[in-house]
Amino acid sequence: MINKIIEFSANNRFLVLFACAILLLCGIYALKKIPLDAIPDLSDTQVIIYSRWDRSPDIMENQVTYPLASAMLGLAKVKSVRGFSDYGFSYVYVIFEDDTDLYFARSRVLENLNRIQSKIPEGVKTEIGPDASSVGWVYQYVLHDESGQFNNADLRSMQDWLIRFQLQSVDGVAEVASIGGFIKQYQIKIDPTKLALFQLTTKQVIEAVQSSNQESGGRVIEFSGNEAIVRSRALVDKIEDIENAVLSYDIKSRAPVLIKQVATVSVGPEMRRGITDFNGSGDAVAGIVIMRQNEDAKTVITRVKTKIAEIQKSLPQGVKIIPVYDRLDLISRAIKNLKITLTEELIIVSLIILLFLWHLQSALIPVITIPITIILAFIALYFTGQTSNIMSLAGIAISIGVLVDGAIIQSENSYRKVRQWQSSEKKESLFLVHLNSLKEVSPSVFFSLLIIAVAFLPIFTLVDQEGRLFRPLAISKNFTMAIAALLAITLNPAVRMLFINAGKQKYYSEQEHPITRKIFRVYEPALRFVLANSKKVLIIAFILFISVIPAFKMLGSEFMPILHEGTILYMPTALPGISVAEAQRVLTIQDKILKSFPEVETVFGKAGRAETATDIAPLSMVETTIVLKPKSQWRKEIKNEEQLINEMNEKLDFPGMPNIWTMPIKNRIDMLATGIRSPIGIKIFGSDLQVIQSIGIKIENILKAMPETRSVIAERISSGYFLDIDFDREKLKIFGLSLKDAQDQAATAIGGSNVSEILAGRERYPIQVRFAPHFRQDVSAIKRLLITTPTGAQIPLSEIAKINFRNGASMIRNENASLVGYVYVDIDQNKIDIGNYVKNAQKLLLEQLILPQNYLISVSGQFENMIRVKERLKIMVPITLALIIFLLYFSTKSWVKTAIIALAVPFSLIGAAWILVILDYNLSIAVWVGIIALLGIDAETGIFMLMYLDLAYNERVKADKMNSENDLKEAITEGALHRLRPKLMTVCALIAGLIPIMSGDGAGSDVMKRIAAPIFGGIITSFLMELLIYPAVFYWWKRKGR
């Protein structure tokens, strides 16, 4: 079948070239249109149920979060359900299985939400979050007024009512969240003594405000043949309108009682649950652009920046929109770095082919194979919905040295056959010489490239975060190899036949070639020594293989190497109960310190939550985005991000605020996948929050003693501060008050309530009713608050309730409807790897921690992913090896040959293991991907080596020159020595293709180096072993056969 395709391509070369040209045009189109991103979208399919209700966390948990979370557990394809209850907010994250359609998931949640809605208390505002996740935070900006004409309330109004809506209209944007500054609020501050004087109640004030802020209509009237619509326009639009609202009217005195007689009305800030800082300058107004899931990040960000440029023209003079986080920068740097790497690989590999063949026309075919294969691969990537990102381009990058192997073997074999034809009687046509040379090696070439593709099957079985990360790499590599295999039997024969006349030019034999001639002088004596001492050589090879065991034991383990984004996320956590003012003060000081580092471009600090369902941060959680300058502008003594982070960590030592350092994208992915925002987390499951917290504190103290721990903090989930008002039901009965009426009056007096809103054009501002500050500023004042009874009598709150300060749950988490607490652990990865740290920590906890009955702990974060990958690879790698062996047997039709080829695997492991030790790389999923890729390459190089030994042996048998052991040795020498050039070319192309990756230092290089390192080391040892061990094994096999 393969030979027939080769014949057809050779005889119809112009048809093949035309078809290839059409496909190239399609490939160029796909290359221009394919979406760009830094990394694949790693977020789970998730739906957020977001509820608002002015209640404490325990009430939110019991009456909102728990009912919603438990109702979602039975949905189809749900993987897990996580709930979070904070003051005034409830979040339920419904996480679905991989490949679940987002809108299918949203419709299922919405159906269930409608069913459960009746069980949710009245007044709870529940909605489904945007079709996005926090990973979609692709662009953040601040509004800065250089003129000083506008305060933060004015800037927040610009953000909320102008900029936000304009950006939200951009295609691909799911939501624009605001944070920072002050939301303008019209505040009615009641004097309760004046209310008592006029015998009025708070309820009447609320009704007066609502009644004075109305619009109505009277249908239509007709006159003089015209129709007029009747309307009454009486909305409040200024403070005076509120002040002059009528509360009551005294018939005797004929004088109205107005709101301004019992209260003061002013404009002030609404209560905030999130604050910001920019470069240590204090509070700033900011916006977060959240991209819709599965959108093209580069295109969306470009559209956003274009829209911002338009908006900027309409803003008042001096007001600037300043970016503080732009993912496009990372995307551009990553893609640029990979483009440079691909270009370097192409040039280096092409030069090696030209150098070894020393013949332009013969070298041209493998050289043009590289760009054609890469361009055609983009057709498959485009139509399978992949994006062009670090991982998909890395798949192509690590394939460049391999995809050209087939063309190299074909070109070199044709080159050798034509040289023989030139020096012979030239009995057959040059066309047939080329055709027969292609037929001789192409089946082996095709199968070897096919095996490389099959070797990547374990990557396709990975799930969750690791599956989404490495599947694009596996897809792009397999498409590239499949296209290379097809080109080897179609385009290569067609192009080869275009250069038939090249046979008139001089062809150099291996002995005449200036490079291989020198290599022969070294290799020939070594080869003859191996054949003379084959037993000793095999024993030495076995001993070398045994060295793999201690090498692997010396390696640490981690889930993934750090992908340095050029941006650092600093996440210290304060104890619960921190006030907004204190949080602002600390945040500003921290940002000033960070901005003082010369490597820092901008600092944008955030404490608390933005106005979006994708942000669940409590006020005690700080998220500071630190954008770094290019490394060329760093101090010479600062070599990498870890060193810079360690220096920052030393300067940012705030009591009670342990530091956590991570990267923005990585953090948001980790939090979505496991709920943990640090590299390692410990989850504590149980039924009592106090016990969960005490266990967490014990774990914190135990792990703090480990020298490799940079910081550790257990959530103080039950350490919030509460002012409890406990009503006495018996006393309520005496005064004729219902519990609800008493609670509502107390809530309005102390905390206030938004009772209406002012419509200022398109802008909307709430109107709040509340007692004046000095009537509620301390406990004694609160005890004196007057509650109105149904008879009109007013009694102090202390008469009907006990008022006390207590500690309670500041925030409550649950997973799959079970209460859970988190312990966050950040480690110094320069001192220890994650795998060994967790192993040591588990041993320590086992010795020192005694868990109460019905409480359990589990290690989460990256370690959870590591265990999942390890268990899956234990199954899939052996299956893949078995499949490769089956394909080898199908190709060779001999179990002995299959076993000889398979020897390349242990040979390559020697180099793979020791290069990881030398480079001080940990075992990670990226390293395992490299090792899996190495399996296929081993099979390929083994096939080529055995093919040449077989060809040389069979030629001697055919010529009746296999009569003695010396003849066997000469046949092996011919196959190993005089076919050294194609083997050298393929291996040098492989190694040269990896050099730009190994020496790279741009965005994404850390991941790519871990993939390339085991391939690089494995190829070197595998090649050396194949040159020396394969001849010895082949000699033993054929000698026994004789």
Contact indicator for 230, 264 with CB cutoff of 8 Å? no
DSSP run (H or E) holding 883:
helix 862-892
Task: Indicate whether 540 and 420 sit together in one domain.
Answer: no
Q: Under 8 Å CB-to-CB from 610, ≥6 apart: which residues?
A: 177, 178, 179, 274, 286, 288
Q: Give the Å distances, CA to CA, from 610 to 274, 662, 742, 768, 1013.
A: 6, 20, 33, 22, 42
Total structural domains within the chain:
3
Tokens 């498959």 — which residue?
380
**Which residues is 1024 bridged to in the sheet?**
none
Alpha helices per DSSP H over 904-1004: 904-919, 925-958, 965-977, 980-999
Residue 773 tokens, joined: 């500050």
Last residue of a domain, one of 90, 105, 132: 132
Task: Indicate whether 366 and 483 sit together in one domain.
Answer: yes
Q: Is 431 exposed, middle or buried (0-12, 13-18, 19+ CB in 10 A)?
A: middle
User: What is the SS3 assignment for 170?
Assistant: coil
Nearest to 859 by CA among 809, 823, 891: 823
Task: Indicate whether 946 and 993 sit together in one domain.
Answer: yes
Task: Indicate whether 502 and 525 sit together in one domain.
Answer: no
φ, ψ dihedrals at 1037, nearest 5°: -65, -50
User: What is the SS3 assignment for 853?
Assistant: coil
Query: Is residue 195, in this structure, part of any structural domain at all?
Result: no
Nearest to 1012 by CA among 927, 904, 941, 913: 927
Query: Is residue 521, in this structure, part of any structural domain at all?
Result: yes
Query: Is residue 716, in this structure, part of any structural domain at all?
Result: no
What CATH number should be reported for the domain holding residue 49?
3.30.70.1430
Last residue of a domain, one of 78, 97, 132: 132
Query: Is residue 522, in this structure, part of any structural domain at all?
Result: yes
Nearest to 152 by CA among 186, 180, 185, 187: 180
Task: Indicate whether 1017 and 913 sit together in one domain.
Answer: yes
DSSP code, position 162: I
Q: Give the Å distances, CA to CA, from 62 to 124, 126, 960.
A: 13, 15, 90
Query: Is residue 906, in this structure, part of any structural domain at all?
Result: yes
Residue 770 tokens, joined: 């509340």
The C-alpha atoms of residue 674 and residue 309 are separated, in whole angstroms, by: 38
Give the chain's count of helices (H) and strands (E): 39, 30
Contact indicator for 942, 1034 with CB cutoff of 8 Å? no
The C-alpha atoms of residue 558 and residue 829 are separated, in whole angstroms, by: 10
Question: Which parts of the chain have pLDDT scores under 50?
Answer: 502-503
Tokens 């650092």 — which residue?
568
Query: Is residue 601, in this structure, part of any structural domain at all?
Result: no
Task: Indicate whether 385 and 494 sit together in one domain.
Answer: yes
Last residue of a domain, one of 507, 531, 560: 507
Task: Indicate whether 393 and 429 sit together in one domain.
Answer: yes
The C-alpha atoms of residue 205 and residue 188 are separated, in whole angstroms, by: 9
Contact indicator for 454, 883 with CB cutoff of 8 Å? yes
Query: Is residue 729, in this structure, part of any structural domain at all?
Result: no
- The per-residue pLDDT for 99 is 79
**Which residues is 145 bridged to in the sheet?**
319
Task: Indicate whether 66 and 12 sit together in one domain.
Answer: no
End-to-end CA distance of the chain: 33
The C-alpha atoms of residue 366 and residue 360 are separated, in whole angstroms, by: 11
Contact indicator for 605, 591 with CB cutoff of 8 Å? yes
Tokens 């079985």 — which residue?
461
Q: Under 8 Å CB-to-CB from 731, ≥6 apart: which residues?
A: 799, 800
Task: Indicate whether 490 and 518 sit together in one domain.
Answer: no
Task: Indicate whether 16 and 122 sit together in one domain.
Answer: no
Contact indicator for 914, 455 with CB cutoff of 8 Å? no
- For residue 378, the enclosing domain spans 1-33+358-507
Task: Indicate whether 532 and 429 sit together in one domain.
Answer: no
Task: Indicate whether 394 and 490 sit together in one domain.
Answer: yes
**Which residues is 233 bridged to in the sheet?**
215
The C-alpha atoms of residue 603 and residue 654 are separated, in whole angstroms, by: 18
What CATH number should be reported for the domain holding residue 904?
1.20.1640.10
Q: Give the Å distances, CA to CA, from 1040 to 965, 975, 1033, 1034, 1035.
A: 11, 19, 11, 10, 8
Alpha helices per DSSP H over 490-626: 491-498, 516-532, 534-546, 548-553, 580-595
Query: Is residue 817, in this structure, part of any structural domain at all?
Result: no
